[in-house]
Amino acid sequence: MPARDLFHNAVRHGLEKEGWKITDDPLSISFGGVDLYVDLGAERLIAAQRGEEKIAVEIKSFLGMSVITEFHAALGQFLSYRLALTARDPQRKLYLAVPDDTYNEFFQLEFTRLAVKDYQLKLIVYEANTEVIVQWIE
């Protein structure tokens, strides 16, 4: 299986294990003249609120040559998708899924922490081999 699909499936299965129903793979959003595609859309019942929680998840593997180049692409995608979701589907929360090793190294740098804070990125940290969601970071 190509590495990209391996990471994609890890997050998909990790979400399913936590009770999420995958509704879109990918989730398309048409807005303001462009068609955007976020990797996954998912929903989960919140019994206490008698409602449904909806999320969109962009999955990054950080397997490429340069972690900073991949981070730039991820940051641009996240902020672009958030603009479109705010207009088209404001109840849906957007997350960036990152592998645990990348989170434990690159995402602990002062630069990355400031970027995550300033641009209010929400993160899902996942473990690719075990297909488990390790952490949700709002």
| Interface contacts to a second copy, rule CB under 8 A | 31-34, 36, 68-69, 71-77, 79-80, 83-84, 87, 109-115, 118-119
Residue 43 CB, nearest approach to a second copy (Å) = 25
Contact 45, 55 (CB under 8 A): no
Question: Which C-beta is closer to a second copy: that of 77 or that of 102?
Answer: 77
CB within 8 Å of 31: residues ≥ 6 apart: 83, 84, 87, 88
Question: Which C-beta is closer to a second copy: that of 69 or that of 130?
Answer: 69
Q: How many CA atoms lie within 13 A of 95 on its CB side?
A: 23
Residue 73 CB, nearest approach to a second copy (Å) = 5
Question: Which C-beta is closer to a second copy: that of 34 or that of 47?
Answer: 34
- The SS3 call for residue 23 is strand
